């Protein structure tokens, strides 16, 4: 499902205009992004938990360049789906788009 | 760092941004979740622009051990929900570390490549401690400086200057346990107690690393083999194509030959290359194998022949083409004129050759086919002597014109060539 059809469905479900739905999604995204950027952990019921994880710098081997590198430390987004969502989607075999 | 935000706080945040009531925002998020779920169910993926992509990933059924009892249990296949953050989200989240890039560890590559295992192990332990020191000092810097750019410039030299100090410290720790408390106290003072963990995972980590590196080394070895193999295959393919092109191209010089050989000093003319022969004979095979028309049904025992005077620039191929109507019949000329030629590739100018009369070059009768086959067989014999690599193709052509000749092969046929000709 792409972003456009998501917005269309959302506006149908809520009775809002597509534009309003788009704005609402944008606000939600920016709020979540900002919270994640400040290192917070956000749980959305029915969907899952967004959190951040810090990876220390580490020594690794790059097979492409055939050299040993010290990979830069980073902080990345982690998502763990809620149990409800996992249970619901466990046995679904979606037809590929 | 991982402070929890309740759903209520999130709703408040969003409501403030969108200037809507909290209850409507709450409803909105539930609707959004519902739609994401529906999208995952229907199409297996949901893309939210500017944020990321939710995806279903099918995990195949597998066998696993029960964590408590240690029994083997089979885990059924199931979907996993994964979320892939898009670049802008990744960058936002990664902002404290933005601008940091990976460094190449040159000494490590050399050491691992050349020296024995124990030395490598000590080296790893050095880097292991250095690493944790580095990241700790980085952590300190992060708190002090909010600006990522400044941070980068500050952290790089710091990290470098730390290297020798760190390895020294690691050595001290390893050799003199008495001093350990002292050193630890020092580091505690310096870095708020965060580096206590540094000496602890020293040994296991180093062993693991050494192992992992050995594995990687082995991996790179195989890579080089694979690369060599691929290269060899490529070269082979290129050669094959060149060979094919050469075969195709060899038809053209044939046509142009009369012009080329118009000069009087050239007393010989070249027949077609053997390869071109095969290719085109193959094409012709279909028409050649058709039964000859009933009109020429009488059994023929000899050709009606006439003499033909060879002119400069002509070859058996061109004579067969112009006089007989089909260039692929040129072996019959060789068959009839063998005694005065010897080498089928050289045809003396101004000599007379015997020219058979062939009624219909596209539908040969039994006798004519046999004669052509005999011609090809003579060529085969000649090529066995002079050009053994390509001789078998002539034997194959024998079979195309007269399979009975192959069924009762005359003496002097190499068994391998015979099999090749029969199986083609």
Read off the DSSP letter of residue B409. P
What pLDDT band is residue B6 in, cutting at 50, 70 and 90?
Answer: confident
ipTM associated with this complex: 0.88
pLDDT at A81: 92
Quick check: B38 and A30 CB within 8 A? no
Q: Annotate B282-307 with three-state secondary structure.
A: HHHHHHHHCCCCHHHCCCCCCCCEEE
- Tally Cβ neighbours within 10 Å of residue B21: 11
> Could you report the per-residue pLDDT of B123-151, keeping only the tens digit for each?
444 444 444 444 444 444 444 444 444 44
Distance of alpha carbon B301 from alpha carbon B320, whole angstroms:
21
Task: Tell me if chain A has a CB within 8 Å of the CB of B209.
Answer: yes
Q: Which residues pair with A60 in a beta bridge?
A: A69
- Specify the higher pLDDT residue, A13 or B287: A13
Quick check: A35 and B13 CB within 8 A? yes
| Cβ under 8 Å to A: B residues 93-152 | 93-97, 100-106, 108-109, 112, 124, 127, 131-132, 134-135, 138
What pLDDT band is residue A16 in, cutting at 50, 70 and 90?
Answer: confident
> Could you report the per-residue pLDDT of B156-207, keeping only the tens digit for each?
444 444 444 444 444 444 444 444 444 444 444 444 434 333 344 444 445 5
Quick check: A27 and B17 CB within 8 A? yes
pLDDT higher than threshold 80 for residue B278:
no
Q: Which residue's entry shows tokens 């295992």? A: B117
pLDDT at A66: 82
Q: Which residues of B touch A39 (CB under 8 A)?
A: 1-3
Percent of chain B scoring above 90 in pLDDT: 2
pLDDT at B287: 44
Task: Tell me if chain B has a CB within 8 Å of the CB of A77.
Answer: yes
pLDDT higher than threshold 70 for residue B254:
no
Quick check: B89 and A40 CB within 8 A? no
Q: Which of B79, B125, B142 would best serve as a mutation to test chain A binding (most A beta carbons within 10 A)? A: B79
Quick check: B35 and A28 CB within 8 A? no
pTM of the predicted structure, to 2 decimals: 0.40
> Could you report the per-residue pLDDT of B47-79, keeping only the tens digit for each?
998 899 998 888 888 888 888 888 888 888 888
- Cα-based torsion angle of the residue sequence B27, B32, B36, B39 in order, rounded to the nearest 10 degrees: 100
What pLDDT band is residue A80 in, cutting at 50, 70 and 90?
Answer: very high
Quick check: B41 and A70 CB within 8 A? no
Please give the mean pLDDT across all residues of chain B: 68
What pLDDT band is residue B112 in, cutting at 50, 70 and 90?
Answer: low
Q: Which residues pair with B370 in a beta bridge?
A: none
pLDDT at B340: 75
pLDDT higher than threshold 70 for residue B260:
no
Q: What angle do CA A30, A33, A37 make, to 5 degrees?
A: 135
Q: Which residues of B touch A93 (CB under 8 A)?
A: 58
Backbone angles phi, psi at B230, to 5 degrees: -65, -40
């Amino acid at each position: 499902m792409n972003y456009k059809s998501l917005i269309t469905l959302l506006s149908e479900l809520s009775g809002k205009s597509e534009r309003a739905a788009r704005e609402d999604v944008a606000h939600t995204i920016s709020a979540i992004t900002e919270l994640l950027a400040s290192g917070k952990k956000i749980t959305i019921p029915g969907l899952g938990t967004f959190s951040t994880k810090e990876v220390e710098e580490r020594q690794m081997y790059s097979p492409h360049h055939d050299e040993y590198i010290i990979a830069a430390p980073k902080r990345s987004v982690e998502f763990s789906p809620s149990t409800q969502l996992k249970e619901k989607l466990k046995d679904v075999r979606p037809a590929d788009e | 760092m991982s402070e929890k935000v309740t759903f209520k706080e999130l709703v408040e945040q969003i409501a403030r941004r969108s200037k809507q009531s909290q209850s409507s925002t709450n409803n909105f998020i539930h609707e959004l979740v519902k739609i994401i779920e529906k999208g995952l169910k229907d199409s297996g993926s949901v893309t939210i622009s500017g944020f990321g992509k939710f995806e279903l990933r099918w995990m195949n059924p597998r066998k696993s051990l029960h964590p408590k009892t240690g029994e083997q249990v089979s885990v059924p296949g199931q979907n996993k929900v994964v979320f892939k953050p898009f670049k802008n989200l990744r960058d936002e989240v990664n902002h404290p570390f933005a601008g940091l890039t990976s460094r190449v560890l040159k000494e490590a590559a050399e050491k691992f490549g050349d020296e024995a295992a124990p030395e490598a192990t000590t080296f790893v332990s050095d880097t292991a401690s250095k690493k944790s020191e580095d990241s700790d000092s980085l952590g300190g810097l992060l708190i002090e400086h909010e600006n990522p750019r400044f941070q980068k410039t500050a952290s790089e030299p710091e990290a470098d200057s730390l290297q020798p100090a760190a390895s020294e410290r690691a050595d001290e720790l390893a050799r003199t346990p008495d001093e350990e408390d002292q050193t630890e106290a020092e580091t505690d003072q310096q870095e708020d107690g965060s580096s206590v963990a540094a000496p602890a995972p020293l040994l296991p980590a180093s062993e693991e690393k050494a192992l992992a590196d050995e594995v990687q080394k082995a991996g790179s070895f195989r890579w080089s083999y694979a690369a060599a193999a691929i290269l060899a295959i490529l070269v082979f393919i290129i050669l094959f194509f060149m060979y094919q092109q050469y075969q195709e191209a060899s038809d053209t010089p044939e046509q142009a030959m009369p012009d080329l050989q118009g000069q009087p000093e050239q007393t010989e003319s070249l027949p077609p290359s053997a390869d071109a022969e095969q290719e085109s004979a193959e094409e012709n095979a279909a028409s050649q194998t058709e039964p000859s028309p009933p009109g020429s049904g009488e059994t023929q025992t000899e050709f009606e022949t006439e003499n033909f005077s060879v002119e400069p620039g002509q070859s058996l191929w061109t004579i067969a083409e112009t006089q007989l109507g089909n260039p692929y019949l040129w072996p019959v000329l060789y068959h009839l004129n063998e005694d005065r030629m010897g080498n089928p590739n050289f045809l003396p100018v101004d000599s007379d050759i015997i020219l058979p009369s062939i009624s219909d070059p596209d539908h040969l009768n039994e006798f004519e086919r046999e004669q052509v086959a005999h011609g090809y067989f003579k060529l085969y014999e000649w090529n066995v002597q002079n050009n053994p690599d390509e001789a078998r193709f002539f034997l194959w052509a024998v079979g195309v014109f007269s399979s009975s000749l192959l069924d009762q092969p005359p003496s002097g046929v190499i068994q391998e060539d015979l099999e090749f000709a029969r199986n083609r």
